[in-house]
Amino acid sequence: MLLTKELKRVNFYLARFTNCFTYRKELTMSLIGKQIGDFKVNAFHNGEITEVSKESTLGKWSLFFFYPADFTFVCPTELEDLANNYDKFQAAGAEVYSVSCDTEFVHKAWHEESERISKVTYPMLADPAHVLARNFEVLIEDAGLAERGAFIVDPEGVIQVELVTAGGIGRNAEELLRLLQAAQFVAEHGDQVCPAKWQPGAETLKPSLDLVGQL
């Protein structure tokens, strides 16, 4: 009986992952440059239940990292990767928020059960009412789950980076950190842009007519 239930759970998530591309095709507008909507949700953070709102996230850079569900497959590898790089995000003046449609109590249970998730010290936002998933347009309506969406938001609450992958494709925390640093650089130096693979301290570009056809 237990094996049958687990097989059903596996088939459920595999079916949802397969449908991710179909859902994204229905979305036609980018969220880049848009202000995030108001929200107030509970979170599991450092062994306690806390509250996080839009207002509390303003004033610093944020990474909202959506994933389908706790106790699944790719998700713990991604959250562990973020945990291993969390100090670098903090050093860059940014906060990391993982988000799924599970409750804060499921987050707590997962944190206590999983060796990978036990490393997480950033806030794990609970979105059972789908407020954030709808806010960032990553909700898979028929499943009640979030897609793998990563959004870098500036201190004013404006989305500067949007990345969404299919359910079976994990993301790279170091690349998200690089994108954060590039977004911060561009925000500070409005007349310069960051080329491919740019890293802090590397050469940037200053768009001008003189550069046309020279690259």
φ, ψ for residue 95 (rounded to 5)?
-110, 145
- As a whole number of angstroms, the distance between CA 96 and CA 78 comes to 13
Q: At what angle do helices 173-188 and 74-91 cross, to 10 degrees?
A: 40
In DSSP terms, which residues pair with 148 in a beta bridge? Answer: 165
Q: Does the annotation count 20 as an active-site position?
A: no
- As a whole number of angstroms, the distance between CA 61 and CA 152 comes to 7
Helices and strands: H and E segment counts in the chain:
7, 9
In DSSP terms, which residues pair with 51 in a beta bridge? Answer: 42
**Of 20, 75, 101, 194, which is the active-site residue?**
75
Which residues are part of the catalytic machinery?
75
